Amino acid sequence: VLLLLPAADWLGWLPPAQPGLDPDQAVLAYQAQASAAPSAAEIVLLGDSSCLMGVDAPALTQKLAEHPPVINLGLIIGLGLDADGEVLEDFLLYHPRQVGLVVLLVTPAMLEDADQVPYFVTLWRRLHPPGGSRTAPNRARAWSLTRGPRLFRQRLLCHVLAEPLHGTDADFYGFSSGLLDYLAAHHGSLTTGAAYHRSRRGMRILYSLAPTFAPASRRFRRQVPANLTLAVGLTPVPETLVPLDYRAQRDALLRQWNRWLGAQVLLTNLPATLPDRLFATGAHLNRRGQRWFTAALAKCLTPTSAQLHLASNSPRHPGAP
């Protein structure tokens, strides 16, 4: 059987890999598939892991007027905006005439560096091939006898045996299957019970917008159809991490970034900072922080969501019966 697995992989007959121990791999594998999976979502959340960890999609649905379904397709900072654009294109392709609002949320640190992390890009390309098509491996490599056991472990056994997680949230999620189950139940959102402890108090961070971030921003904007509303915001940071006038700096960053994005809605009413106790890291909110920020985001999005609902029920709307 092991000798036949490389051939089955080459023909595309094996199920996708389901990573076990590495949460980053598990998240990317899940989101790569979720963008094409059945969903009723009318609002799509995109961004880095601060979006993934900062907003609980089902809770946001409940807090918005008319309760529009929400999906969180947040990824990680090392992939940049190109991957966000790819999952959005996937979702719109598989769910035509369904989405009305796209919300892009990233940590301000992402604006400072347009460089992608090669490891994450390679991983993403393996999980989400360009154009949604498989890249056929080299024939000699496909028939390598050493690939059979690895394919059995990564493509078959992982769907039968769950592996335990390690780290802060091992007790909460338990196994890799628990993390994937949480992602499914919370429509792409994750959470953590970790606590943030700043090691260097007194040193305040000044964020800036890198000129090299312009090309990716413009590419992303082209991937958002003109008939959809794009809202953009920066996720909050710990209050001890930035100067006291950071809110004004945050708003200036947003306006500057929006010259490349051209978003219709700037989420300047979102909190720029939150108390340190609501964070797990300098970029990720913990469970308490996620509840707080989800409520704040719902308040900011309510007017836009209500307008979209009225438009969708207008007799002149192309999607109306």
- The CATH number of the domain holding residue 51 is 3.40.50.1110
Alpha-carbon distance of 131 to 144, in angstroms, equals: 27
For residues 114 and 95, give the distance between their C-alpha atoms in angstroms, rounded to a whole number.
Answer: 30
Quick one: tokens of 190? Answer: 């994750």
Please state the pTM of the whole predicted model. Answer: 0.82
3-state secondary structure 203-264: CCCCCCCCHHHHHHHHHHHHHCCCCCEEEEEECCEECCCCCCCHHHHHHHHHHHHHHHHCCC
Q: Would 193 be classed as within a structural domain?
A: yes
In order, the DSSP letters of 153-167 are IIIIGGGTS--B--S
Tokens of 156: 């078959």
- pLDDT at residue number 193: 81
* Residue pLDDT tens, the chain, 321 long: 444 555 555 555 555 555 445 778 888 989 999 999 999 999 999 999 999 999 999 999 999 999 999 999 999 999 999 999 999 999 999 999 999 999 999 999 999 987 788 999 998 998 888 765 433 333 333 334 444 444 444 544 455 445 656 566 666 666 667 788 889 999 999 998 888 887 666 678 889 999 999 999 999 999 999 999 999 999 999 999 999 999 999 999 999 999 999 999 999 999 999 999 999 999 999 999 999 999 999 999 998 887 776 566 544 334 332
Tell whether 14 is covered by a domain: yes
Measured CA to CA, the distance from residue 27 to residue 142 in angstroms comes to 27
- Supply the range of the domain harboring residue 238: 5-312
Tokens of 210: 């890198």
317 located within any domain:
no
Of 316, 307, 320, whose CA–CA distance to 68 is shortest? 307
CB atoms within 10 A of CB 250: 22
Residue 70 contacts residue 187 (beta carbons within 8 Å): yes
Q: Does residue 189 fall inside a structural domain?
A: yes
Tell me, yes or no, whether 320 lies in a domain.
no
Number of domains composing the chain = 1
CB 193, CB 285: distance < 8 Å: no
Is residue 90 within 8 Å of 132, Cβ to Cβ? yes
User: What's the gap between Cα 304 and its chain centre?
Assistant: 21
C-alpha gyration radius of the chain: 21
C-alpha–C-alpha distance, residues 272 and 50, integer Å: 13
Task: Select from 17, 52, 60, 261 the least CA-distant residue to 159.
Answer: 17
CA distance 87 to 250: 27
Structural domain includes residue 319: no
Looking at 244-307, which runs of residues are DSSP E strands? 265-266, 273-274
In a domain, residue 48? The reply is yes
Does residue 80 lie within any of the structural domains? yes
The number of angstroms, rounded, from the C-alpha of 287 to the middle of its chain's C-alpha atoms is: 17
